[in-house]
Structure 1
Amino acid sequence: MELEELLWAGADAQAQALRDGTVSAPDLLEAVLRRVEAVDRRLNLFRVVYAEAARAAAADAQRRIDAGERTPLLGVPVAVKDDLDVAGVATGVGGRPQFAPAEQDAPAVARLRAAGAVLVGHTHAPDRCLWPFTESLAHGATRNPWHLDHTPGGSSGGSAAAIAAGVVGVATGSDGGGSVRIPANHCGVFGLKTTRGLVDMGPEEHWHGLAVLGPLGRRVADAAAMLDVLADDDHPGGLYRDSAAADPGPLRIALSWRTPLGRPPIEAERKRAVLTVADRLRALGHQVTEADPPLGIRPNPQFLTRYLRGVADDVAALPHPEWVEPRTRRIAAVGRRIPDSVLARARAAESGLDGVMRTFFQDHDLLLQPGWTGRQPRIGRYHGSGAAHTLGGVALGIPYYPTWNVLGYPVAAVPAGRDKVGLPMGVQLVGPAFGEHLLLSLSGQFERAHPWADARPAG
C-alpha cells in the first residue's frame, strides 16, 4: 500500500504496516504532516500542530518497533482534542488558553505517549466544549470535509473532521451530551462514548459526571485499538480490538424512537436510515423489535441541572472568565443559580433511572436509536446568537443523546450512509454499563457487512 493511501486505511491498519516494516513511523508522520498542510487551511482542524515534538516521538517509536516492542498504537499518528493537557503545550478548551503550558500530560495523553502513539496536535472544539458544532470567536469555524458549508458537529468536531479528511486514523474525543457521537454521525466515522469511569479523566468529575473520554476512528478497529490503550490495564472480556473482530451471537435489540420529551420529528432520510440499519441487523441474525425504555421525562431535568451547573463551575475556576464567549458566560450565570441541594438531588436520582434500565436490559441486549435528527447545521448558523437561541436551536437535533450521559452508559455512533446532498447520517447503539465489548463486536460485524470507510470526501 502506498504511503498516501495508508492515511485512509485507519490507525489499526497503520499499526499493522508499522509492525510489518512496510512503512516507518517517521515516514508515516511526514505523510500526515503533508496532509495537514494540504487540507487544514480549508478545514481548520487543528489549533496547534506540534510537528517537531511529533518527529522526535516518531523516531523514538521506530526504535521501539525495531527492538521488537508491540502496542496497539506504537508509531501511529493520533490527534488530541483541545481539552486534554499535553505537556509543554497550552490547552485552549475551544477558546483562548487560560493557563500556562501544561507541566504534565493528562492521564489519557500519558497512556497514549507510553504506548508509543505519535501525538500530532490539538484539534479544535467550541468554546469550553459546550456546543454540537465546532465554531468559536477565538478560532473560527471547523468545516465538514463532506460539505464545507456544514459543521462537522461538536464538540469533538476537529477530531472527527481530521479522521474524515484522511489526516489521522484515530483521535480522542469527549462526550458530555453527545460530543463524541454527534461529530461521528456528522462526519461518517465511528465514535464510542465510554462508560463513566472506564477511562481516567483525572481526579475531578467533569460536568458532574456527564462527561467521559472516548475514541473516534475511521473504522471500528481504530477506536477499539485506542480504547485498549486508554482504558485500565485489566480488561474484563479481553482486548477491545479482539471484540471488534469477533461477531457476537444473536442479539435482542430494541429499536426506540422515544426521548424524555416524547417522540421528536426526524428528517425523512435520517428516519429511513435508522430503519435500514434495523433491517440490516435483522439480516445479520439479530432480533430487532420496537421498545422504549420507560424512563419518562426524568433524564431531561437531570441533564440540564448537571450541564448548567457544570459549565458554571468550569467558568468559575478560570483565571480570566471574561475571555469566554458571551453566551458561555450567560450559560454559566444560569448555572450559578442552581443550589447544591438541587444538584445533589439530581445526582441521587440517577440510581432510579439506572434501576429502570437494568430491568430493561434483562429483556434486551442493546438499544438502537437515531442520532442527530436533521441535516447538519450550516457554518455560521449560530454565529452571534445568544445562549437561549443557541440552546433552543441545537435542542431540536440532540434529543437522543443526553440521556446516556446522565446514566453514564456506553454508546457507539455508527455511520448509516449519506443523504441526498452527500452528508453522512448515523445511528446510536446503546449498551449497559461496561458493555463496550458487545458494542464493538456488533459494530464491527455491521461494518464488515456494510463498510463505510472506503468512501472519501470529494474535496
Structure 2
Amino acid sequence: MNEDVFTQLSAGEMAEGVRSGRWTARELVAASLERIGRLDPELNAFTVVRTKEALAEADRLDAELAGEAKGRKASGADSRPTADTGRLLTGVPIAVKEEFDVAGLPTTLGGSGNPSPAAADSEVIRRVRAAGAIVVGKTTMPEFGRCSETISDRYGATLNPWRRDFSPGGSSGGSAVAVAAGMTPIALGADGGGSIRLPAACCGILGLKPERGRVTMAPLSQHWHALVTFGGLSRTAADSALLYDAIAGSLPSDRWQAEPLSEPYRDVVARGTGPLRIAWTGRSPMPGLKNDPEVDRALTALIQRLARLGHDVRETHAAWPVPTDAFILQFLSGMATEADSVEAPEKLERHTRRIAAVGRLIPTRLARFAERRGEKIARAFNERFLPTADVLAMPTIPVLPRPLGWLESRSTFASIFRGTPMVANTSIFNVTGHPALSIPGGVSAEGLPIGMQLVTRPGREGLLLALAAQLEKDEPWPTPPGF
C-alpha cells in the first residue's frame, strides 16, 4: 500500500477495507512499519517496533479471514465479514504506551526498573487484539508518566511533529506523536493528570480520558489511588468510538467499575447529538492562572462555532472546587506504590526516586481520604458546572506547547512546580473521575496546536465524541505541516 494512501485512511476505513478484501492486514501493517521506519528515527515515538511479529500476526489474520470467507461461501452466506463479527479493528495497526503489558516485551514504564518480559498481555491489549488490531510497537513515556513532557534517561526526548524543537506533551507523548504523524491511526495511552489529553492538545489530535472504571485496569485493580484511567488517542472521533467500543468494560477485579454501555459509542456518534446545552469558561481551576491570548482566541472561536451549529452556549461563572490537596496525595502515594512494585528499584531515575521517597511518607489512610475527597469534589463540580448543562467547554491547557526539554533541567520538585500550569485544567477531572476529551482547537501564530477540552457527567463519553464528530464535519482538524 502506498504510504500516502495509508495516512489518509481512518482506522474505520482500514478495518472495512480488510473485511471487504480491498487490501490485506499485511499491506496496512507494512505501510505503518514503513512510515515508522522513515519518521521515527527523528521523532522518537517508539521504544520498540514489532516488525517481524506484527507482520506475522497480520498474515495469520489474513489467513483466518480467507478461511472464514471460504466457509461462508461454501454455506451460501455472504462472503464479506462485517464489524458485527467482533473484529471492529480488523487489521488496524495500533501503537501502545509502555504502560501496557504486551506478552514477550518488558513493561518498562519509561525506565529501566522492569527488565523482564511480560508473561501475558494486559486485558486492554487482549481486547484490541481480539478486535483485530495489530500491535506494531510500544511508545515512549517519561518514567512512570510523572511529568507533562515525554523524555526519559533511557529513551531520550520525543519530538513534536508540528515543530521539532517543541515538546509533544506527556505522558502519553509517544502515542500522540505516532497518531499525529500518521504512523498509526490510533494508539493506547493512560491518563493520571492529563496524560492523554495534554499530548493530544500539543499534537493536534483527539484524546479521551474516559470515566473512572470505564476501561479495565487489569492486571491492576487500580492505579495512583483512582487518578489513572486507560484510554486512547486518534485523529477522528469515529476512530475513538471504535477503539472505545473495543476496550470499554470493567472486570470484577477492578476497584472502580462503570455502568455497562447502553449502546455502542459508534452508534452514538453516527446518530449525532441534536442541540446541546453547553457551558463554557476561560477560567482555570488554578487561581490566578491566565490563559495565553492565543488560547483565549481559540476558545472564542470554538464558542462561536458551537453556537452557529445550534447549541445553547452560555458562559459559567461558577467557582471551581479545589482539587489540589487530593491530587497531590494521590499522585505522590501512587508514585511510591509504583516504585515499590518494579523489579529493580535501584535503576529508577533520580526524579522518580525522590518523588517516591516523599510519597512513602504518606500513610495509606491519607491516600484513601484523598479518594473520598475526590468524590466530594466531583459532586461539587456537577452541582456548580453541570446542573443543567450537558457539556462544559474550556481550554485543555491554558498555555501553548512548551519548548523541548523545558522541565528536565530543573530539580525534581521545581520541575513539578514549573509544570503545574500544564495540568491545571486537566488534573481536576482525574480527581473527580469525569470523562474529558481534548479536541483540536486551532493553531497558534508559531504553528503550534491548541487544544480545547469538553467535559461531561460520567457515562456520557459517547456524547463528547458525537459533539467532536459534529465539529470535525463542520471544519476538518488541522494537520502537521508536511504530513
The TM-score normalised by the length of structure 1 is: 0.96
TM-superposed CA distance for 1:18, in Å, is 1.7
* Distance in 1 between residues matched to 2:274 and 2:353, nearest whole Å: 49
**Out of 462, 473, 478, which is 1:437 matched to?**
462
* Distance in 2 between residues matched to 1:97 and 1:52, nearest whole Å: 26
TM-superposed CA distance for 1:353, in Å, is 1.9
* Distance in 2 between residues matched to 1:171 and 1:327, nearest whole Å: 27
In the other structure, the counterpart of 1:335 is: 359
Larger mean CA deviation between 13-22 and 142-151 belongs to: 13-22
Query: 5+ residue gaps in structure 2?
Result: 69-79, 251-258
**Out of 421, 446, 449, which is 1:424 matched to?**
449
**Out of 137, 152, 161, which is 1:121 matched to?**
137
Does structure 1 retain, via aligned residues, the 8 Å contact 2:206–2:233? yes
TM-superposed CA distance for 1:59, in Å, is 1.2
Does structure 2 retain, via aligned residues, the 8 Å contact 1:294–1:356? no
- 1:105 and 1:293, CA in 2 relative to 1: closer, same or farther beyond 3 A? farther
Larger mean CA deviation between 317-326 and 220-229 belongs to: 317-326
TM-superposed CA distance for 1:232, in Å, is 2.3
* Distance in 2 between residues matched to 1:73 and 1:41, nearest whole Å: 27
**Residues 306-345 of structure 1 aligned to structure 2 (within 5 Å):** 306-345=330-369
Does structure 1 retain, via aligned residues, the 8 Å contact 2:277–2:391? yes
* Distance in 2 between residues matched to 1:274 and 1:198, nearest whole Å: 28
* Distance in 2 between residues matched to 1:196 and 1:292, nearest whole Å: 26
In the other structure, the counterpart of 2:77 is: none
* Distance in 1 between residues matched to 2:438 and 2:299, nearest whole Å: 12
Q: Per-residue displacement from partner, 1:348-397 (whole Å, max 9, x unpaired)?
A: 22232222233343311111111112221111222342211211111122
Q: Per-residue displacement from partner, 1:40-90 (whole Å, max 9, x unpaired)?
A: 111011100111111121112223433254421011100011100001111
* Distance in 2 between residues matched to 1:338 and 1:259, nearest whole Å: 28
> How many equivalent residue pairs?
457
**Out of 176, 201, 226, which is 1:209 matched to?**
226
**Out of 175, 186, 190, which is 1:159 matched to?**
175
TM-superposed CA distance for 1:292, in Å, is 4.4
- 1:292 and 1:72, CA in 2 relative to 1: closer, same or farther beyond 3 A? farther
TM-superposed CA distance for 1:31, in Å, is 0.8
**Secondary structure in structure 2 of the residue aligned to 1:391:** helix
Does structure 2 retain, via aligned residues, the 8 Å contact 1:245–1:445? no
TM-superposed CA distance for 1:288, in Å, is 1.3
**Out of 250, 254, 269, which is 1:244 matched to?**
269
Q: Per-residue displacement from partner, 1:292-331 (whole Å, max 9, x unpaired)?
A: 454432x111111101111011112223222111111111
* Distance in 1 between residues matched to 2:274 and 2:381, nearest whole Å: 22
Does structure 2 retain, via aligned residues, the 8 Å contact 1:46–1:122? yes
1:351 aligns with 2:375: yes
* Distance in 2 between residues matched to 1:362 and 1:375, nearest whole Å: 31
In the other structure, the counterpart of 2:6 is: 6
* Distance in 1 between residues matched to 2:354 and 2:216, nearest whole Å: 30
- 1:97 and 1:5, CA in 2 relative to 1: closer, same or farther beyond 3 A? farther
RMSD of Structure 2 on Structure 1 (CA): 1.7
**Secondary structure in structure 1 of the residue aligned to 2:273:** coil
1:146 aligns with 2:162: yes
TM-superposed CA distance for 1:218, in Å, is 1.2
Does structure 1 retain, via aligned residues, the 8 Å contact 2:200–2:438? yes
TM-superposed CA distance for 1:429, in Å, is 0.1
Does structure 1 retain, via aligned residues, the 8 Å contact 2:113–2:342? no
TM-superposed CA distance for 1:424, in Å, is 0.8
1:393 aligns with 2:418: yes
* Distance in 1 between residues matched to 2:288 and 2:280, nearest whole Å: 13
Overall identity of the aligned pairs, in %: 37
**Secondary structure in structure 1 of the residue aligned to 2:232:** strand
Does structure 2 retain, via aligned residues, the 8 Å contact 1:91–1:97? no
Query: 5+ residue gaps in structure 1?
Result: none
Does structure 2 retain, via aligned residues, the 8 Å contact 1:143–1:149? yes
Does structure 2 retain, via aligned residues, the 8 Å contact 1:293–1:357? no
**Out of 301, 306, 329, which is 1:305 matched to?**
329
**Secondary structure in structure 1 of the residue aligned to 2:422:** coil
Does structure 1 retain, via aligned residues, the 8 Å contact 2:282–2:296? no
- 1:272 and 1:362, CA in 2 relative to 1: closer, same or farther beyond 3 A? same
* Distance in 1 between residues matched to 2:288 and 2:321, nearest whole Å: 12
In the other structure, the counterpart of 1:177 is: 193
In the other structure, the counterpart of 2:431 is: 406
* Distance in 2 between residues matched to 1:86 and 1:390, nearest whole Å: 31
**Out of 448, 451, 457, which is 2:476 matched to?**
451
Does structure 2 retain, via aligned residues, the 8 Å contact 1:246–1:445? no
TM-superposed CA distance for 1:97, in Å, is 4.8
* Distance in 1 between residues matched to 2:29 and 2:372, nearest whole Å: 47
1:82 aligns with 2:98: yes
* Distance in 2 between residues matched to 1:236 and 1:220, nearest whole Å: 17
Larger mean CA deviation between 69-78 and 237-246 belongs to: 237-246
**Secondary structure in structure 2 of the residue aligned to 1:362:** coil
In the other structure, the counterpart of 1:372 is: 397
In the other structure, the counterpart of 2:249 is: 232
Please tell me the residue identity of whatever aligns with 1:315.
A
* Distance in 1 between residues matched to 2:341 and 2:113, nearest whole Å: 13
Please tell me the residue identity of whatever aligns with 1:197.
G
Does structure 2 retain, via aligned residues, the 8 Å contact 1:65–1:74? no
Does structure 2 retain, via aligned residues, the 8 Å contact 1:8–1:169? no
**Secondary structure in structure 2 of the residue aligned to 1:7:** helix
In the other structure, the counterpart of 1:29 is: 29
Does structure 1 retain, via aligned residues, the 8 Å contact 2:408–2:415? no
1:262 aligns with 2:287: yes
